[in-house]
Amino acid sequence: MRSRLCCSEAWHVKEENVLTFRNRLNAAREIDPVTLPNCQLIKGIERGSEDIDILPNGVAFISSGLKYPGLKSFAPDKPGEIFLMDLNEEKPRAVELRISRGFDLASFNPHGISTYIDKDDTVYLFVVNHPHQKSTVEVFKFVEDDNSLVHLKTIRHDLLISVNDIVAMGPDSFYATNDHYFSDFILMFLEMFLGLTWSNVVYYSPKEVKEVAAGFYSANGINISPDKKYIYVADILDHKVHVMEKHANWNLTHAKTLQLDTLVDNLSVDPDTGDIWTGCHPNGMKLFYSDPENLPASEVLRIQNILSEEPVVTRVYADDGSVLQGSSVASVHGGKLLIGTVFHRALYCEL
């Protein structure tokens, strides 16, 4: 009798886990389209545009070619790339940036990116990289004259376990999100399935490396407010954007949380308005279970006045996957919008 009860309880727990996991992935959600009139797919970007960072002068960096455990890749054997788009041009186009000799291009697997402009106007590009499914942060210097990246250093650390995104704080310091506690794919899946909140945010500098926020289901996109007082963290499996207050010692404390009804990926901040733009996954199940008859959708949200008591959330764009599959980022500059994806195309729109 006792063994039957144990089996019954175990089945009930398993069933609860399945239902909770499906809810975290928004498995039942379908979306109505929201179209923008002046959009076109960006020529040359065919294998993803997972993250985008735009400099104040309108030059955009785009990471492409991510191979991520459990997700589709259109060219699994081809190295990743960094593209540049100058949004000041009448008809902006994507140009692949040349990377300096000595860097291991064959294993280049770029994920989140962030830029930092130093006092002498040097532009540093920080790139989360997954060579051989490990996590490193690559630091490059952007050479505008010949559209190239000079590799400066590779950063590895025991606390940088499963890095997803990054926001640069200086020429050699940053905050980074670990989207999982484990780096092994099977353990990563179990972590998600069981709903473990072991994901975190880490601060890195040459002098100090430490965990500064924890308790996330899967910390994903990260960015900073224009006044540099707050760090924004997206928890993709909890459908939330967390606002964290940044302190002089680089520690973070929770200020507020915004609940959404979608899987929030990367976060971009409009430096002029402070608005947060984010690429989202309306239904995460479709992202993981690649089905040509049931494509992963795309969704772009604009979050205004997130620090107020009543932030305004607007669905700017939504597509069922027929145009754009698996949106992961949305960035704006001067009335122009770039929408990137985990493994698909990229979209350029004039707002």
What is the rounded distance in angstroms from the CA atom of residue 47 to the CA atom of residue 73? 7
9 assigned ligand-binding residue: no
CA–CA distance, 351 with 340 (Å, rounded to integer): 16
Angle between helices 2-24 and 185-193 in degrees, nearest 10:
100
Helix, strand, or coil (residue 191): helix
281 is catalytic: no
Longest dimension (CA), the chain: 77
Report the alpha-carbon distance of residue 126 to residue 114 in Å, rounded: 5
**CA pair distance 233, 224, nearest whole angstrom:** 9
Half-sphere exposure of 333 (CA within 13 A, CB side): 20
Task: Establish whether 113 is an annotated binding residue.
Answer: yes
- The DSSP bridge partners found for residue 61 are 53, 84
H or E, element range at 185: helix 185-193
| Ligand-binding site membership of 147 (annotated) | no
Residue 35: helix, strand or coil by DSSP? Answer: coil
Distance in angstroms (rounded) separating the CA atoms of residues 172 and 126: 9
Please check if 184 is assigned to a binding site: no
The answer to whether 51 is annotated as binding is: yes
Show Cβ contacts of residue 224 under 8 Å, excluding neighbours closer than 6 positions. Answer: 167, 230, 231, 232, 246, 269
Catalytic annotation, pick one of 111, 239, 242, 344: 111
Burial of residue 121, with CB atoms counted within 10 A of its CB: 0-12 exposed, 13-18 middle, 19 or more buried: exposed
Contact call for residues 177 and 163 (beta carbons, < 8 A): yes
Annotated binding-site members for Ca(2+): 50-51, 113, 164-165, 220, 265-266
Catalytic positions are 111
Annotated binding-site members: 50-51, 113, 164-165, 220, 265-266
